[in-house]
Amino acid sequence: MATASSVRPLPLAGIRVLDLTTFLSGPSATQLLADLGADVVKIEPAVGDSSRSIPPHFLGEDSAYYLANNRNKRSVVLDLKHPEGLDIALRLIGASDVVIENFRPGVCERLGIDKHAVTTDRPELVWASISGFGQVGPHQSRPAYDMIVQAMSGVMSLTGHPGQPAARLGVPAGDVVAGMYAVIGVLSALVSRAGTGVGRIVDVSMLDSQLSQLSYQSVYAMMSGQVPGRQGAGHDSIPTYRSFLGSDGAEFVVTANTQAMWERLCIAIEEPRLPLDPRFLDQSLRLQHKHELWRLLEKAFAEHPAAEWVSRLIEQQVPCAPIRDVAEALDDARASGRGMVIELNDGSHSFEAVATPILFEDSEIPPLRYPPRLGEQTREVLGEVLSLTPEECDRLVRSGAVFQSDTCSDPLSAQHRSVD
């Protein structure tokens, strides 16, 4: 841990991000930037980010879905169809380092915000667009959500058990991965700008992002001409990389990737001579005879409870783990000392969330800003960033160009992320 004298600000301190995103891919990206120290100003319409109303769980007026992806931000409500609302948005763009939006291609321009025009006026600006299918291409105008790109990318075709219908991944990888790639693009552009003084326009497609997650499966398919199918609980290359059942019906995973791990696995199941079987001498042979191997392993693992097998395998230095449910995983994270479960509190409500998994030994532990209420910081931002007077803000509110919530306070959570 850093000493008090060596503590430095978070890496993105001093960077302002204007967040024109909604739902998940964009908000997950801007929350990550906020957690890294950026000042994220979230622009919302009068009805708010559509994720605020997603059932079934709510805290106050906001959904758990919204709360999970919008901490450490400030909310400003603008009517972009109102001339003065649009003018305020353009002025905020002029005062920002980064703009992130996830409208369908062409929507920003129809609203009167042309990224090419604003980046021509301010060449140092970094602009990131997240969309379903990218800014160019045959599908660019189509709407897309997580499940759409999981389906179109081939990811869903790999998910589920052989002979069963395709399954959506249990996490919103189509959204979150696109958000992460957008952050990588933004950070790369900021590094480039530090040397050249010129920003970049970043184009991230959710579909492209999911295609990138195919990893070796895409190369396998292109190299072999064979289409991979449902992966179930196993692996296309390593037969000793899959889940199994103990005698108690509990599931656990074994990832014996190397020859040495395979031999130690055989010791754990009390079959030390199994590696000498001609069918299982090396990885290629084990893959060729995987169904025979699985029957042997399944029979052995059915003799003892899963927890006992996990203990035995760890003792033999064979990577393995129980399959936990979400509640169990979160309990383990709370006990880990890595600060991955955080609490946010606004004085009226509190909830726990999962932190950003990036730690800096020499950086300050930042206070956590509770996800903003709709329009909570409109006056604050307009005064601080654009130097508008209270009277000017009053007039804009009366005109309908902007909206300020009744709750104007901006408390910081008393809970800090810490690492033991």
User: Locate tokens 């979150």: which residue?
Assistant: 176
pLDDT surpasses 70 at 279: yes
Average pLDDT over residues 213-239: 96
Helix 146-153 / helix 173-196 crossing angle, nearest 10 deg: 90
pLDDT value at position 84?
Answer: 98
pLDDT for 410 beyond 90: no
pLDDT for the residue 367? 72
- Mean pLDDT computed over every residue of the chain: 94
Q: How confident is the model at residue 186 (pLDDT cuts 50, 70, 90)?
A: very high
pLDDT score of 406: 67
pLDDT at 264 over 80: yes
pLDDT score of 418 more than 60 = no
pLDDT (0 to 100) of residue 85 = 98
Whole-angstrom distance, CA of residue 263 vs CA of residue 249? 25
**Span 103-137, pLDDT tens digits:** 999 999 999 999 999 999 999 999 999 999 999 99
Flag whether pLDDT at 395 surpasses 50.
Answer: yes
Residues with a catalytic annotation lie at 175
Closest CA to 62 of 85, 44, 79: 44
CA dist., res. 225 & res. 220, Å (int): 8
> For residue 3, what pLDDT is reported?
54
Cβ pair 86, 112 in contact under 8 A: yes
Could you tell me if residue 113 is left (phi over 0), alpha (psi between -120 and 50 degrees) or otherwise beta? beta
Q: What pLDDT sits at residue 169? A: 96
pLDDT in tens, 128-179: 999 999 999 999 999 999 999 999 999 999 999 999 999 999 999 999 999 9
So what's the pLDDT on residue 407?
A: 53
Mean pLDDT of 196-225: 98
Confidence at residue 225, expressed as pLDDT on a 0 to 100 scale: 97
pLDDT at 114: 97
Give the pLDDT of residue 302. Answer: 98
Q: Which residues, 6 or more positions from 319, have their beta carbon under 8 angstroms from its beta carbon?
A: 254, 255, 256, 257, 261, 313
Return contacts of 230-236, CB within 8 angstroms, 24+ apart.
230/157, 230/158, 230/159, 230/160, 230/161, 230/162, 230/163, 230/164, 230/166, 231/158, 231/159, 232/160, 232/161, 232/162, 233/161
Mean pLDDT, range 15-39, rounded to an integer: 97
Summarize pLDDT for 292-314 with one digit per residue, the tens. Answer: 999 999 999 999 999 999 999 99
User: Domains of the chain (ranges plus CATH)?
Assistant: 4-213+344-416 (3.40.50.10540), 241-322 (3.30.1540.10)
Helices (H), 302-365: 306-315, 326-335
pLDDT tens, residue by residue, 311-336:
999 999 999 999 999 999 999 999 99
Least confident of 72-76, 247-251, 316-320, 355-359: 355-359
Query: So what's the pLDDT on residue 238?
Result: 96
